[in-house]
Structure 1
Amino acid sequence: MGIATINPATGETLQSFEPLTEAEIEAKLDLAEKAFVDYRKTTIGQRAEWMNEAARILERDRENFAKIMTLEMGKPIKAAIAEVEKCALVCRYYADRAAEFLADVPAATDASQSFVRYEPLGAILAVMPWNFPFWQVFRFAAPGLMAGNVGLLKHASNVPQCALAIEEIMKQAGFRAGVFQTLLVGSDKVAGIIADDRVKAATLTGSEAAGASLAAAAGKHIKKTLLELGGSDPYIVLESADLEAAVSTGVAARMLNNGQSCIAAKRFILHEAIADEFEKRFLAKFQALKIGDPMNPETDLGPLATPDILQDLDRLVQECLEKGAKVLTGGKPLSDRPGNFYPATILTDFVPGSPAESEEFFGPVALLFRVANIDEAIARANAIPFGLGASAWTTVEKERDRLISELEAGAVFINSLVKSDPRLPFGGIKRSGYGRELGVQGIHEFVNIKTVWVK
C-alpha cells in the first residue's frame, strides 16, 4: 500500500507521497537522538509553554485540521472538529499536570533519603492508526513530550497529510527540531526502526496482527512496548435500565467514527424483558441516520476509510447471514454511489460459531444478543478474546457492583458509552493489548522509574 490521500467518499487519489529513503530515515533518527540530549534538560515549565501553544494552534485552526481528517479517512466533519478540540484538551491537561505527575516521590526507608524519580527514556516510536488520526497521536505526544522524551510518528499510510500537519503544529508551537518528527514510511520499515539503538521504546494502536508484529520485533531487542489493539465491546442493557437513554446512547456508541472505533459498542446484550422494545426503538433510530458526504454537517454516517475495510466488514456480515443470522436493516454495501459506503446495519439471531461471537466488526454494524439474566449477560460479554471497554445499563446497585467487578475489560462504564478521557487511564486486557495511555499512568509508561537511595 502506497502513502497517499485517497478520498474515501469518492475513491479519488488526491495526493501521493514518496516514502523516506534509508538515508532519510537515518538522518531523522540521528536528529532525534541529538535533540533528546538537549530536550531532556529543558524544564517542565518550558515544555508546558510549548504544549499550551500547540493547544492554541489546534483550537485556532480546528476547522482546517478537521477538513484534512475528513478528506483522508471520511470522519463526519462535526466529529472531526470535536477530535481536534479534544487534542487541545489533552495538551493542556499534561501541560498543567506534568510537574505533579513527574515529581520525586519520597519513600520512608532506613536510608538518609530515598525517593523515586521519573526520567525520560529517549526517542519513542509511535505507530498510529487512521481512525482517530489526530487524537491517537496527541494522546501519545502530550504525555511523552512533557516527560522529556522525543517522538517519532509512523502514521497510517492513508493519512499522510494528518501526519505532516501534526509535525508542523509541534514546530509552530516551539518544540525544537527533532523533538517530534513524522516518518513517512511503510509498515515494512517498522522492525528496522525499532531495532535501531537510538529508539528506546514503541507504542502502537491498531490491529492484533500489527501489535503482535511490533511486540515481537521490540522483544528481540528488549524494548518496552504499549499496545492498544482491537475490541468487541459489549453493551449490556438490563431490565431496570432507562431504556430511552440506553437506546439513544447505544446508537451513538455504535456509530462513533462511522463505526470504526476500537471502543465502539459492538455487541448489544439485551435482557429478554426489554429486548423487543429496545430492538424496535434502536431500529427506528438506525433507519433515521443520514448517510452521505462527510463534509456536510448534517451527515450522521460517512464512508468507511478504505475499500479493504468495507470488504472485510461485508465479509463478516455475509458469513453471519449464511450461518442463519437475521438482518433487520442494511446488510450490504451501497452501490448507488462512489466511495466506501456501508449502511447502518443490525444483525440478530446468531448461531454458535458465528463470527459475531469472536470477530471485531469495524464499521456501522450492531450485533444484538438476548439473555435471560445478569449471569448470562456477563458470561456473554466475557466470551470474547478482547477486553478493551464495556458499557452496562442498570439502576440496581447490586447489579452495578457485579458488572464493575466481573466484566473483563480495561474500562467499565455504567449508564454511559465507553470513551477516553485525559484524566483516566485508557487501555485493555486479553487480546486488546497492554499498558495504559492517559491519566498519570500514561505519562509513566515511557519513563525510567528510578529508585534513589542516599545513606
Structure 2
Amino acid sequence: MSDYQVNNPATGEVEATYPTAAEQDIQNAIEQAHSAYQDWRHVSLSERSALLHKIADIYLERQDELARIVANEMGKPVAQAKGEIGLVAEIYRYYADNAEQLLAPHSIDVDSGSASVEKLPVGALLGIMPWNYPHYQVARFAAPNFMAGNTIILKHAPQCPKTAEAIVDILKDAGLPDGVYNNVFATNEQAATIIEDSRVQGVSLTGSERAGQAVAKVAGGALKKVVLELGGSDAFIVAADADIAKSVKGAIEGRFGNTGQACNAAKRLIVVESVYDKFVEGFTNAVRSMTLANPLDEGTFIGPMSSKAAAVNLQEQLDSAVQAGATVLVEGGLVKDKPGAWFAPAVLTDVDESMDVYRQELFGPVAVVYKARDIEHAIKIANDVPFGLGASIQTQDAALAADIADKLEVGMVTINAPSGSEANTPFGGVKRSGFGRELGTLGITEFLNYKLIRDKS
C-alpha cells in the first residue's frame, strides 16, 4: 500500500486517503530538522521542560477526540486508547521533570587536573513508528529526544495518518518551534534515503523483524546509530503456588489487551503441571465469555484487529498449528461473515517444537498454553524462542520469583502482573526482539554525544 489510508477495521471502509511524500518534501523535512537543531540544541532545559508539560496538558485535553481517531484507524477500544493517551502525558511529564538530572555532566576521578563527561545532543533523528500504540510509540521516542536537544523526522504507520496529523497539531499548539518535529508520509525507500543523508544522525524503529533487518542494514551501511524494538513472544509463567484467580485475570489482560496486538503481550502461557487444569479451566471460561464489540463503545474490551490482512495472516498461523497437531481449547478465528477485521479469540495447547508456530510471534487474539513439568521446564520453554522482549512470573514466593527472573533470557520481567509499560522504567529486549532501550533513565541516553572534557592544566 503506497498511500497512507484510514481503513476502518470495524467496517472495512476506506475513510480517507493521503498521498505519500514527494521527493522534495523529504528533502525539505531533512533540511528543516537539521536547521532547527542548530537553535534547538541551545534552548534551555527549563524552556524545553515547560513546553513538554504543555504538550502533556494538550494530550489530556484532547483525550476523547484522539481516542476516537485511534479506534477508527486501527480498532483499539476507546477506553484502552484513552489509557494510552494518559501514559503519553506521563511520559512527557517524566522527561520534563527529570531531564536536567539525567543529562547532568558527571566528573571522573583523575590523577591530575579534572575530567568530566557532558551529555549533548547529536542532531536530527529519524523515527519509524508502528500502528498498535500510535501515540505512545511516538512519545517514548520524541519526549526524551526533545529534552536532549535533538530534532525529529517521523515516519508513522501508513494506516495512522490522522493520528500523525493530530500529533503535529498538538506539538504546534504547544509551541514547539518549526522544524523540531517533522512528519513525513514517506515510503520505505524514502525512509532509506533519510537514513543515508549525512544530516541525519540516527534512527529508531519499532516494528517487525523484517522492518528491523531492513533498517539496520541501511543504518549500518551509513554508519548510523540505530535503536530497534521488534517482536516478542513473551512467556507468562504460572508457578504451583500462584494465585490462580489473579493469574487468570492477568493472563486475559496480558494476552487480549489491544486485541492481542502488543509486542510484549503474554503470548505463551506456561503453567506448571500441578495447577495446569485449574488454570486452564478458569482461563478458557474467561475467554469464552469475551465478546467482540464496537471499539467506539466505552465498555468494549476486545474489538477488531488492525486490518484484514493482519487477521488473515493470523488465521493462517492458527490453521497451520491445528494441522500440525495442536489442540483447540477455545475455537476462534477470522469472522468471515462480517465486514472488517474481526477475529474471535482462540486458545491452543499441545504446541511443540516440531511446529512452526512454536517459535513464531502470534500478533493477535490467539493464546497458546503450555504444560510444564516444573519450574525448570517452564524456564526452558520460555527461553526456547528467538525473541527476548519480556516475561511475567506468577508466584507468591519472592525468592523463587527472583531465581526465575535471573534465568529468563529477556529484557524485562514483571512479577505477579502482566507485562506493561511505565514512563520511568526502561523498555526493550534482547535476541531478535532488538536492542537499545526506551523510557526511564535509559531512554534519554541512546542518542547523545558523551563528550569528554579533560583539563590537564
If the length of structure 2 is used for normalisation, what is the TM-score?
A: 0.98
Corresponding residue of 1:310: 311
1:124 alignment partner AA: L
Corresponding residue of 1:107: 108
Corresponding residue of 1:23: 24
| Secondary structure in 2 matching 1:352 | coil
**Greater shift after overlay, 192-201 or 346-355?**
346-355
1:353 CA drift (Å): 1.5
- CA-to-aligned-CA distance 1:389-422 (integer Å, 9 cap, x gap): 0001112233212111100100011111111111
| Secondary structure in 2 matching 1:439 | coil
| Secondary structure in 2 matching 1:436 | coil
- What is the distance in 1 between the residues matched to 2:293 and 2:354? 34
Corresponding residue of 2:454: 453
2:410 is the alignment partner of 1:409: yes
2:183 is the alignment partner of 1:174: no
1:106 CA drift (Å): 1.1
| Secondary structure in 2 matching 1:427 | coil
Cα contact 1:206–1:228 (8 A) shared by 2: yes
| Secondary structure in 1 matching 2:125 | strand
- CA-to-aligned-CA distance 1:13-63 (integer Å, 9 cap, x gap): 011001110011111111111100000010000001111000000001100
- What is the distance in 1 between the residues matched to 2:323 and 2:150? 51
Q: Note the 1:370-389 alignment, pairs <5 A.
A: 370-389=371-390
- What is the distance in 1 between the residues matched to 2:107 and 2:372? 51
2:177 is the alignment partner of 1:159: no
- What is the distance in 2 between the residues matched to 1:166 and 1:51? 13
1:298 CA drift (Å): 1.7
2:201 alignment partner AA: K
2:90 is the alignment partner of 1:89: yes
- CA-to-aligned-CA distance 1:336-367 (integer Å, 9 cap, x gap): 32110111110011243213310000001100
2:253 is the alignment partner of 1:227: no
Identity of aligned residues (%): 39
- CA-to-aligned-CA distance 1:243-297 (integer Å, 9 cap, x gap): 1100001100001111000000000001111111101100111111121210011
Corresponding residue of 1:70: 71
| Secondary structure in 2 matching 1:444 | coil
Cα contact 1:119–1:447 (8 A) shared by 2: yes
- CA-to-aligned-CA distance 1:139-173 (integer Å, 9 cap, x gap): 10000111000011101100011111111111111
1:318 CA drift (Å): 0.3
Corresponding residue of 1:296: 297
| Secondary structure in 1 matching 2:20 | coil
| Secondary structure in 1 matching 2:444 | helix
1:382 alignment partner AA: N
- Which runs of no fewer than 5 residues in structure 2 stay unpaired? none
2:160 alignment partner AA: V
2:345 is the alignment partner of 1:344: yes
- What is the distance in 1 between the residues matched to 2:378 and 2:212? 29
Cα contact 2:257–2:301 (8 A) shared by 1: no
Superposition CA RMSD, Å = 0.9
2:318 alignment partner AA: V
Corresponding residue of 1:204: 205
Cα contact 1:234–1:391 (8 A) shared by 2: yes
- What is the distance in 2 between the residues matched to 1:437 and 1:192? 24
**Greater shift after overlay, 180-189 or 138-147?**
180-189
Cα contact 1:290–1:298 (8 A) shared by 2: no
| Secondary structure in 2 matching 1:265 | coil
- What is the distance in 2 between the residues matched to 1:289 and 1:116? 54
2:148 is the alignment partner of 1:147: yes
2:122 is the alignment partner of 1:121: yes
1:264 alignment partner AA: A
**Greater shift after overlay, 442-451 or 346-355?**
346-355
- CA-to-aligned-CA distance 1:189-217 (integer Å, 9 cap, x gap): 11111001111100000000100110110
- What is the distance in 2 between the residues matched to 1:332 and 1:120? 48
Corresponding residue of 1:257: 258
| Secondary structure in 2 matching 1:419 | coil
Cα contact 1:228–1:432 (8 A) shared by 2: yes
Cα contact 2:87–2:423 (8 A) shared by 1: no
1:31 alignment partner AA: Q
**Greater shift after overlay, 418-427 or 130-139?**
418-427
Corresponding residue of 2:245: 244
Cα contact 1:374–1:399 (8 A) shared by 2: no
| Secondary structure in 1 matching 2:194 | helix
| Secondary structure in 2 matching 1:188 | helix
1:313 alignment partner AA: L
- Which runs of no fewer than 5 residues in structure 1 stay unpaired? none
1:331 CA drift (Å): 3.1
Corresponding residue of 2:7: 6
